[in-house]
Amino acid sequence: MNHASPSQPHPAEWPETQELLGAEERGLPAGRHEFHKEQLMAQIHDDLRTTNGAPAAPARQRNPFLRRNVLLPAMACAVAAAVVGGFALAGGDGGDGDGKTPLATGPALTTQVGTADAKAAPELLNRISLASADTSGPTVGDGQFIYIASKVASTYPKTVDDKTTVVSEELHPRQVWQSPEGKDGWLIEPGQTGDKGITLAGEHPISAAYNALVKLPTDPDALLKKIYQDVDKNRDKEVPRDQAAFVAIGDLLTESYPPAKLAPALYKAAAKIPGVAAVDDAVDAMGRHGIAVARLNEADGQREEWIFDKKSLAFLGERMVQAQPPKDGPIKRGTVLFTSAITERAVVDGNKRLPSDSQAG
């Protein structure tokens, strides 16, 4: 068994998170992020979830089948419908979706928008690359799975009786298991699945699966060329090309476990993307303050931030912040649209097994 966990949070608490955890609300939606065209996805979930009078689901819907911010709009609609329908069929105890626990919501999470420094980004990413090279990556054997645990929360517009407000989910755990080839796995997440979770088995392997990552080039230039080729095939043309590439790398840093030789190359490749900047202070979902590598999507004013421990430079999590006033809609500058904190990554001895199971054995 091989595992690595980020540093634990400091005693200081994040006021916005504490306020959110104390909020209560009934009849809340399932799901979590995909900020691909916020209003479009909000409407998709609105249509799917209000058929029987249920509240609308969040706009940002991350799931193992959907890569953020790079899908074509028509494909996003089709996949969103399939995934939501799949959850309803496969949820919880395996049949009718019963057992899902609604997530409480509260006022929208907000933060101070940190100052972005483009000149500082190359040096910071070089340091992060060197630090990651000193960390051993996973080796996944036959029958083993990648296990990733995190804490997450999303923010989204919610409409009740023709009145739209912006709300944030309570911070909640998310557990994902992935087979090396990406064709099998499991997801447990309150609000999105029942207590027992749902299968992630499918014919099409997950793009960030371990076996796929092992095959990626470790030369930063070759790696970035490959990433651009991939996003050019799949991205929404309204999403800037450089932003799509940055987001694609971020996806490989979060719900995947990059091999030891790949991680440094990912950071060096990110340093070559125009518009990447350093942010001197950012806070992950667990209240851990760190330094961030970020990029602003000028099309919608949203900034993707990868958060690292200021001392060890270990990856802590990510968040999406509305860094500029949006052109329209209820979201305001400083809103935290999505936040996550990685609590553990491990190689475990089977689907739905935990690192503690391996240790006990």
Q: What is the pLDDT of residues 93-122, one digit of tens each?
A: 333 445 677 799 999 999 999 999 999 999
Could you report the per-residue pLDDT of 203-221, keeping only the tens digit for each?
877 778 999 999 999 999 9
How many domains are contained in the chain? 1
pLDDT the model gives residue 35 = 34
pTM: 0.77
Residue-wise pLDDT tens digits, 168-185: 999 999 999 999 999 999
**85 burial class (0-12, 13-18, 19+ CB within 10 angstroms)?**
exposed
Question: What would the mean pLDDT of 283-296 be, rounded to a whole number?
Answer: 97
pLDDT for the residue numbered 128: 98
Is the pLDDT assigned to residue 73 strictly greater than 50?
A: no
User: CA–CA separation, 241 vs 194, rounded Å?
Assistant: 37
Mean pLDDT of 82-99: 37
Torsion angles phi and psi, residue 178, rounded to 5: -135, 130
With respect to residue 58, please indicate whether it lies within any of the assigned structural domains: yes
d(CA 22, CA 132): 37
At residue 357, the pLDDT reads: 85
Contact assessment for residue 180 and residue 140, using Cβ atoms and an 8 Å cutoff: yes
Is 68 within a domain? yes
- Element (H or E) spanning 230, and its range? helix 220-234
Cα distances (Å, whole numbers) of residue 53 to 21, 32, 40, 58, 276: 26, 20, 20, 16, 43
Residue 289: pLDDT over 60: yes
Range of the domain at 274: 16-351
Phi then psi for residue 358, to 5 deg, are -65, -40
